[in-house]
Each structure stands twice: as C-alpha cells, then as structure tokens.
Structure 1
C-alpha cells in the first residue's frame, strides 16, 4: 500500500512487547513526545517525577507507566493504552509488560492488534521472552510484526550486530508463519529512527518506526459475518435481537441462520443507534429483526446461511495459561465464547509448547502460568465456534473458574498450521 492509498483517519491497532528493560515504555513515550501527542501538563508531571528520581532529563517511560506501583518500581505491570494520531493515521497503542509473570497481559494487548512491535536490546539479542511474545503474536494472528532493535547507541550503532539479530528473529518468525516482518534499528532514548531518521545509522535505508506504522496495510482478509446476540428485545408488536457485529456485514433481506440450533430465516430490519438502516458492518452495535418467530437467546450467533459455523461439544484449543492457579486435567470450568457461557470439563492437556525450541512434549497434565499447550474439552452444550485461523473473534474462548469467576486460560480454537 502506498502512502497515497491510505485514507486520512485510517486506524491502526498495535501492541508493544519484548523482554524486561528492553525499552518499550521509553519507545512509546518517545513516539508520543515526538509526534506532539503529549499535553504540556503531562510532560511537566513527567519532568517533576524524573527530577524526584534524580534524573537530569525527562524519563519518557513515565508517560506510559501510569500506575503508582509502576512509577515506584520503574517497571510496566499493566497494559497501558494510548491514543494518538498523525496527519496520515490514527493509532490505538497497547504498551504491554515485559516481565515473564505478566506475559498474560501481552495476550490481552495483542488480541485485537494488527501490528506488534517486538523490542530487542541490541546488547542481549534474541532472548526467551522475545520468543514467547512472538509466539503469542503468531497465535493471535497478528499479521504484521515490527522488530525494533533498540539501544543501538550502546553497541556503537553497529550494522553487523543489527543484521545478526534481524536474521535470527526473521527465521524464528518464519517458522511461526508470521506473514510480514520489518526490522528497524533504533535508540528510543535518543530518538534514532523512531520518528526521525538517525544520523548515526546512514547504512540503514528502511523506514523509521513511525513511517512504517503510517504505511503498513490495515484490514487484512475479510472475515465471515458473525453477530453474537447479547440481548433479546421484546414488546407487544416487536421482537429484535441486539448485539455488536464482531465481523462482516448484514443487509436487510439477507438469509441467515441462528446457531447453534440451526434455525433459518431472513433479516427484515436493521437499526443502528435507533435509526433504521439497510445494512450494518462490524464493529457496529445493531438491533436486527427476523422474518420468522424462531427461538433466539443470548449467546446465539446470527450468521449468513453460507458460512454457518459447525456446533461442537468437544473443543481443541491452543491454551495460554493466564492465572496463577494452574489448569489441570479433570477441572470443571466455564467456557465463554462471544456472549455464550457453557460448562465444560478439561479432558486432556496435550503437546505443551517449548517457546525457545518450538518443540512439544506430551507428558503434561497441568498447565502453569504463561505456558502454552493444546487443551481438549467437552462442553455441556453445543458451541458454534470457528477455527481461530478463520475468525479471530468467534474462534476465541476463555476458560473460567466456576467457583471464583477468575479467568484461567485464553484459548484459540483449532491447531495453527505452524504447530510442531
């Protein structure tokens, strides 16, 4: 996509990731500062906080480390969302933690991202956490990855060091089926190749990070239309089904199916914000009316008859363990899929993934925090799921502790093509 093909106001969702102290928060702070996305009072607050810590210059990382615990410890704990814009594009950025114990938050930040910025410290190169974050990006079908080789000033802006890291990372990402990788050498602290080209790396002819963010294609392949029903509206002479279109579009007159029951009917009316329309598209919230008095309840899916998902009572998912409480074979859990929640039992934990070697072992019966494995479940009721490769929203599930209500595991339905 060329610059002229990008519509003004186009939106890119992105997430930053990488190992601890690779400079993610500093990079985000630099990006916000150099694009004039920081209010004067915010910048003054950062300067005061920096002086309190004995720093001569403003620590731009404090622009994103918003929690008090983060400021006190100098680390990122939670996902920090930031919104900014340039003349070419709008951005929603999720700055995710680098510490291993907070990897689960990277799953949250990358779940809706179209691009992941994976940082690597030029001194340390590719480390285990780099691989873990790249695996998560691949599992979540993030189509674009930018490798930010940071702190190049600390290795003398050496071209051969950059080439070594970029080559190792690109090969690793290729094994995971990541379709697009761009490597950029930079120094977030000094501003090299973040917004402006670096005078210290004239050997690099590629884009700055901002140039890449402004020009990377968005949208990707269209996904099949899915409307999870959130609420049934009933009146004497009216019945409508409310929800947010997770993908695709619906038109008045479309023949549709209601899953998992499989009832077929057609759309006779669509409202957006209380206004009748002829068509609606994701991510709009809508109310639809149907021609027939079919049984529709919260948790059902309204889909085109040509792309009806197959209801299943046995699910195989790639599970990323989020909670400190392990997931074990035999556990009874709740499975949340879009707006539907059903009971299930964990039947097997198969093929736990080693993120460093990209190999698997078959001996696991327990999944611990941050581990990734294939998980087999049997549900009490049919669930109309899509493979995650086919539809990111309707191929995702959460496993929830029945007793506490805590989220245990994030799951992607099906086995990705690159799985060992």
Structure 2
C-alpha cells in the first residue's frame, strides 16, 4: 500500500469569499478520486480519517495496494460496494485564499436528477473526461445541464493522463472535441487541465510528467477564478418563509435575503399584491442591523400593517419581479413515471407553493446535438422546453437573471415526490383582448327553468365494470322523470371530439381534460351531465372535479373485480390483450388508481345494473338535484 503523510486535522481558515463547484462527467471518470486526492494534497484530511481510509481501501478499494481516495466521498455502502457515486456528496474545505464547497455528483444516467441537484447551486463545474475515452454522451448531458442551470465556468479535467502516457495530443484532441460541442452553451470560460486524480498530477502543483503543459494547476485555478455576478449586486429579493408573531406587540417576516441588499427605512413592495411600505427594523438574534444583504437570515418589520404571508416575495418598487400565472421554462424530468401535460402538479417557486400544470411541451432537447424534437411527454432524465401554468399568480425572475427566484421544482400531488426541476425563461402574457363575457341568462336561471340542479355524475371503473350500462339506466330513469340530461361516453367522444388522441398517458390526460371542459359547459346550461370514463388516474379525475363546486360533482366508483371484467369482456378487449394486440391496458399492464373518497361506491357483485342505477337516482333525489313530480 502507498504510504501517505499523516496530518493533523486542519483548522478552517476564514477566507474572503467562497466558491461552490461540482465534479461531474461520465461513469468511472474519477470524480470522487479527484476530490479525495485534492483534499489530501491540500492537507485537509484528519489523521483519523486517513487511518479509516487505509482500512476501507483494503476492504473496498479498487486501486490494488494504493489508497483509494474515492472512498473519502463515496459514503454510502452501496457506492463503496459498486465503486460508483449514487448520491450527491458535499465536502467543505479552505485554503489561505478561498473557502470551497464541492459537490461530488453521480455519473450514471439514472442518477442525473442528483447531478442536477448538485449543479443548481454551483458557480463552476469540473467536468472530468477519461483521457482514453474522450467526450461521451454523459459528458454532453452534464455539460448541457450545467449550462441550463446557469454555470458559466468550466474546468475540463482530462483525467487518467497517466494511462495515456502523459501525451499532449490526448488533451488537444479531447479539448478540441469538447470546445466544438460546447460552442453556443454560453460558458464564459473553459480551461482544459491534464490531471491524474490517482497520483495527484497537476492538482495542487505542476507535474514533472507534463512539462509541455503551461497552464495553472487545478487548485491555483480554483483559488484565483473570478466568479461574477455576486448575489449582493443583484436586485433585492426577500422570500418570506415565516410570519413571526410571538405576541400581539410584534409582527415580523422571517427569511433569507437571496439577492441584493436592503436598509432600514427603505421602501419595499409585496411583489404579488403591489402593496408598498417601508422597512422599520431588520432584526436578528444578536440585535438589529442597519442593513441586510444576500445570505443574511433576518426578520423584517414594516412601518404599515399590510397583508403578507409565507411565500410572498419582497422587492424594491422599481425592481419588481415578474408576476403571472404562465411562463415558459426549461424542465428536467426526474421521475420514472413520465410527465403528463395537463395533469395537476404542485409547483414550488422559491417559498411559493401553487397548484399548476405543464400545459404544453414545445419541444424536447437532444442533449447530444441540442436538436429540438417534437414530444408529447418527457421521460426520466429528458429535458424539454415547456409552457407552465399556475392556479394563482406567482412572482418570479428569469433564471438567467436570478437563479434563486427563477427556478422551481415540480412535486407529484399524491406521492409528494419531486418529479421535475425547472428554469424559467420568460413570462407568458395572457391575451389582453379576451375576457369572460357576462351572460344575462346564467346557469341558475337555466337550471331553475328545468326544475333541477346542474351537476356532473362521473362513473369510473375498469373496462367491463358496467359503467356505461348503469349510466344508461340512470339516464333513462331521469328522462322518465322529465329531467334534462346529457350522457358523455368515452367511446362515443373518441369518434369525434377526441378522435385525434391515442392511449398514451399524455393522450388519456388530454382526453379527460377535454371531457371536463365540455361537461362544465353543459352544466352551465343547467343540464345533469352523466359521464362514463375509465379515467384511471386520480389526478385527471380531480382536475375535472376542480372545475365544479363541491355539490356539483358526484364521483361514482363502479367496483367490479378484474376477473369478472375479463369474464364479461363485452367488447372483446381482454381477449385482444391476452393475444398481445393491445398494450398498456388499464388493470393489466397499466395502473388504475381507485377513488379514495367517491360520493358513491357501487360494488357490482351480487347486484343488477337496475339496482345500482336506482341507488344513484336515490342519491340525486336525496341531494335535491331532482325531485318526483
């Protein structure tokens, strides 16, 4: 085993500024080894850490008898067993000239979402390339994500130069190939450095093996590079994270200044509402401050009592951010389940949390060629340019102006998983010449004329469950009671309004969205609308429900076991599935999410469609939707 010098645990040095950087690149390009070796050669490893590292190198190491520096940052047992990075590992260290926060990010494509997380706060990226392999697909993917996430400085670390006999031509070839690819990505600097992470060549000092190289060693470059702009010079932004009111005599708004600065007495505006006031005090645990700047965690009190809550964004009146409910954004999809345009998600922009949806995918981006491709959805790790809509207005800046207020995450409504990360490009204006036309004859008058209450009865269940049969009988019974109804059936609408839609998840969502809008128009005319659709996803059913008042939407779950549905097979669909003629069939190889709290739960086993239809009609009578004459 290689002998290395033991050092005392270093004492953190107070430095003038801090550089946040990431290491990224393809699998096995040496990212973790680079960080471990850099920490060691900079005397940033404690004696007990070195002892543990020697011991772990014997157990997990992949470098023969040498110290495996990758183990210093590969903390997960799975990472050590496989010799790969899975999660993002953060390390902090300081030199006499600067302090650093480094994020070691995974190289595997399936963990691209973790790499994006690490890049979101970085000022510089070290992109490692194996000198023997050159620029790979994942190298391009990570570079493109770095560009999207606002990183403007790149170190092109051509690693394992020892395995390429320290040849200059390897660096020249890889550097030329990378510069050709990176043209147009907007990087302010790209600095190629030949290194050997394993042996420390050109990390903290120039290597005798590469006397042809005249540029800086890695640490010198990290210590000297000028990262601009500084958040302190940007426009003032203060997201309210908490309303601090310990008693009736004090009301403050707590949070961190994410950019710019503010002083007591300065005028501010609540971005969303436009209300203005002045800063009264800037309060901290150690006493009041005359001024707060980017990075300061403070509580602000105001001269006037105005309506401010968690999620509001404070700014200067002449530097107000954009406020709107539609914007265009680049989106990195991070979930195994594909993006479904039109589906309701939770969007978190800074400390603002709003319901919203991806209304349209303008194009998907090929990370290799940066070509714009047509797409109806985004799959795991794919990147697209999309239109986004929120239920209520949000305050934001374009990402290239302010990374903190121009980024957002997408959260699945039911699982609470973070499924996407976005960078806002620009706001979208609603057409100013379109307004709701007030109607003299409204839905109440129309329904009163019909002696009924407008509503939507939504039958959902598996194919063959009996939805349409029960819905037809309900329609007949209501017609016999002189009710004004309209029945919308899935198959019928796919012959006309929705004939352009297939059965992908995105098309299913659009199918239900259109049906919901049609049902709303019909309910506005005073009708009782009977809908029969599988609608397998709760999110789509809830989206339709959100169009109506609470008493106007009645969800009816027609609960029939899958075996019984397949036995009936009235349309011959299950036979086609068995023969392999139909793919992604609900209940077989595509999921059906059962309703959680339906207004009616009809268990069909042991009951006739007539009996079940009577139960639905009885509910309508009990709710005074209809009445016998």
Q: TM-score, normalised by structure 1?
A: 0.95
Corresponding residue for residue 14 of structure 1 = 21
Moved more, 231-240 or 107-116: 231-240
How far, CA to CA, are the matches of 1:415 and 1:232 in structure 2? Answer: 30
User: Structure 1's 53 and 384: CA in aligned 2 closer, same or farther, altered over 3 A?
Assistant: closer
SS for the counterpart of 1:366 is coil
Corresponding residue for residue 183 of structure 2 = 174
How far, CA to CA, are the matches of 2:278 and 2:154 in structure 1? Answer: 40
Q: CA deviation at 1:360?
A: 0.8
Moved more, 53-62 or 284-293: 53-62
Is 1:329 aligned to residue 337 of structure 2?
no
Corresponding residue for residue 308 of structure 1 = 320
CA deviation map 1:147-205 (0-9, x unaligned): 10001111111111211111221232231111111110111111110112111111110
Is 1:402 aligned to residue 413 of structure 2?
yes
2:138 pairs, out of 129, 144, 164, with 129
Corresponding residue for residue 27 of structure 1 = 34
Number of residue pairs matched by the alignment:
409
Q: CA deviation at 1:325?
A: 2.0
Is 1:139 aligned to residue 148 of structure 2?
yes
1:201 pairs, out of 206, 210, 216, with 210
Q: CA deviation at 1:415?
A: 6.3
Corresponding residue for residue 381 of structure 1 = 392
8 A Cα contact 2:15 2:94, kept in partner:
no
Is 1:79 aligned to residue 78 of structure 2?
no
Q: Return the index of the structure with the highest Cα Rg.
A: 2
Larger fraction in helix: 2
How far, CA to CA, are the matches of 1:309 and 1:88 in structure 2? Answer: 36
How far, CA to CA, are the matches of 1:224 and 1:146 in structure 2? Answer: 29
User: Structure 1's 276 and 53: CA in aligned 2 closer, same or farther, altered over 3 A?
Assistant: closer
SS for the counterpart of 1:200 is helix
8 A Cα contact 1:272 1:284, kept in partner:
no
Corresponding residue for residue 237 of structure 1 = 249
How far, CA to CA, are the matches of 1:352 and 1:114 in structure 2? Answer: 26
How far, CA to CA, are the matches of 2:330 and 2:43 in structure 1? Answer: 41
How far, CA to CA, are the matches of 1:220 and 1:173 in structure 2? Answer: 22
CA deviation map 1:4-42 (0-9, x unaligned): xxx944211111000000011111111011011111111
RMSD: 1.5
Q: CA deviation at 1:53?
A: 4.2
Is 1:367 aligned to residue 374 of structure 2?
no
8 A Cα contact 2:60 2:81, kept in partner:
no
CA deviation map 1:327-382 (0-9, x unaligned): 111211001011110001221112100011111112x1111111100121221100
Mapping 1:271-310, distance limit 5 Å: 271-310=283-322
SS for the counterpart of 1:130 is helix
8 A Cα contact 1:318 1:415, kept in partner:
no
Q: CA deviation at 1:274?
A: 4.8
2:422 pairs, out of 400, 411, 414, with 411
User: Structure 1's 72 and 237: CA in aligned 2 closer, same or farther, altered over 3 A?
Assistant: same
SS for the counterpart of 2:360 is strand
Larger fraction in strand: 1
Q: CA deviation at 1:219?
A: 4.3
User: What are structure 2's unaligned runs of at least 5 residues?
Assistant: 1-13, 428-629
Q: TM-score, normalised by structure 2?
A: 0.64
Corresponding residue for residue 225 of structure 1 = 236
SS for the counterpart of 1:168 is helix
1:268 pairs, out of 255, 280, 300, with 280
8 A Cα contact 1:117 1:147, kept in partner:
yes
SS for the counterpart of 2:368 is coil
Q: CA deviation at 1:276?
A: 0.8
Corresponding residue for residue 155 of structure 1 = 164
User: What are structure 1's unaligned runs of at least 5 residues?
Assistant: 1-6
Higher relative CO (Cα under 8 Å, sequence separation at least 6) belongs to 1
SS for the counterpart of 2:75 is coil
